[in-house]
Amino acid sequence: MSLTTESTSSPQSSAVQSMVVEAGGMAVVAEEGAFKRRIPARWLRLMGSEPRSMVRETGQRAFDSTSIPAEVRVRSTSFNSDEGLWEVRFEGETDALEIDFERLRSSSSVEQIDGPLPSPFTSADQPARALDFENLDSPAAVRSLLETLFRRGYARVRGVPTKEAAFLKLASRLGAHRGSSAPQVITEEVGANAPVNLSASRGCLAHTDEPYLDPMPRYLLQLCIENSLSGGELQLVDGMNAAETLAMEAPIMAAELARWPMLFACTGSDSDYRALRTLLETSADGSFQRITFNDRAALDFMCPEERLAVCAEGYDLLARILQREGLQNRFRVQPGDLVLIDNHRVLHGRSTHGAGERTLLTCSLHRSEVFSTWRRARSGNLD
């Protein structure tokens, strides 16, 4: 087998671009002027910009990173002057991957953007007991609900009327009526007539919502209005447990993921948002504070060239840890069930499903609003 490379001047740049295969296809060295970066083959495979790799509406990946084999190798690279894109061919694949060189260097051009103790959960735990909607007129019940949310990272309310008015009333009860974050009601329908990215029967990899927004939403509320899907259980993954598992199994990788930020982006036809966040965030004493993981919106690490390989390997290991059964709680959400999720700690996804539809009402709340409600409920002066 022979590896071929081609260095060609790009019409979009006065500097010469090159992508040279090295180490038997395990990596590619991309270079343009003062920019030079060694990119592991597997990480490069995630960075395609052609339609089959991207969802046009969101500008995010159309596949999960864990579907890429760890042993992937680059066979050849060449520059397509007609399209202004690089074509990368991988061993075992017939179609070339189209890569925009600007995407390889995008993270280097973005400036850095500046209660009760939590307890981990595992699959051996039963999902937290759900409070009944009619009991939430009591400050003690609201306090109990929020303290469950703070400790476990999620909580549930059952028997909520499947009406928008009831959803807004409950969101207001938890603090949404203060400040500028009035709930935005979004209806998600999953079924034969839904958009492709929502109706994929293979489910949805666990993730934190909207990491490309500043601020990133803290608490998510989801009310199930209708659910006729066969399968499609809600998956909750404890990020605290996952971070501690990574730190035990690969401490150097965990340290690197807490040090170098990931560029998260949503650059579709209707939006253009970008933010830099580390996948793991720790406090001054080293304790875990936040996990940010969204496989479809993760674009690239902003790190020195020599640290990219270990960061990419750490990303892959974290993605696989998040799929381990022992770190997940799964349960079917029925109409009238409302789930509260700490979006900085608990990842959510859904298992594979068959035919049917599901409709949810969703919104997000700021941390300050929820904690203010908790303090007032604790004092008994909620209304």
Q: Residue 112 is encoded by which pair of tokens?
A: 């850095």
| Residue (of 102, 159, 117) closest to 299 by Cα position | 102
Measured CA distances, 236 to 341, 348, 350 (Å): 9, 5, 8
pLDDT of residue 325: 86
| DSSP 3-state percent helix, strand, coil across the chain (nearest 5) | 30, 30, 40
The residue type found at 150 is F
| Residue (of 144, 178, 113) closest to 368 by Cα position | 178
In this prediction, the residues of the chain whose per-residue pLDDT falls under 70 are 1-15, 108-114, 126-129, 177-203, 231, 269, 353-354, 383
- Per CATH, which fold does 112-383 belong to? Double-stranded beta-helix (3.60.130)
* 8 Å CB contact between 329 and 346: no
Q: Residue 54 is encoded by which pair of tokens?
A: 């991207």
- Predicted model pTM: 0.82
| Residue (of 372, 363, 376, 367) closest to 167 by Cα position | 363
pLDDT of residue 180: 41
How far is Cα 52 from Cα 112, in angstroms, rounded to an integer?
31
pLDDT of residue 126: 66
pLDDT of residue 286: 74
pLDDT of residue 251: 95
- Per CATH, which fold does 6-104 belong to? NE0471 N-terminal domain-like (3.30.2020)
How far is Cα 383 from Cα 381, in angstroms, rounded to an integer?
6
Write out pLDDT tens, residues 23-61: 899 999 999 888 889 999 999 998 887 777 777 777 788
Burial call 10-22: b when 16+ CB within 10 Å, e when fewer:
beeeeeebbbbbe
pLDDT of residue 75: 93
Q: CATH 3.60.130.10 in the chain, residues?
A: 112-383
Q: CATH 3.30.2020.30 in the chain, residues?
A: 6-104
pLDDT of residue 6: 43
Three-class SS state of 9? strand
How far is Cα 301 from Cα 312, in angstroms, rounded to an integer?
8
Measured CA distances, 186 to 171, 174, 217, 300 (Å): 14, 18, 15, 29
DSSP H helical ranges for the chain: 41-45, 101-104, 139-152, 164-171, 196-199, 239-249, 251-259, 308-321, 367-379
Strands 60-61 and 74-80, sheet pairing: unpaired
Nearest 5°: phi and psi at 142? -65, -40
pLDDT of residue 340: 95
| 350: CB partners within 8 A, 6+ apart | 203, 204, 232, 233, 234, 235
Write out pLDDT tens, residues 215-261: 899 999 999 998 877 767 889 999 999 999 999 999 999 999 999 99
Measured CA distances, 36 to 76, 191, 305 (Å): 18, 46, 8
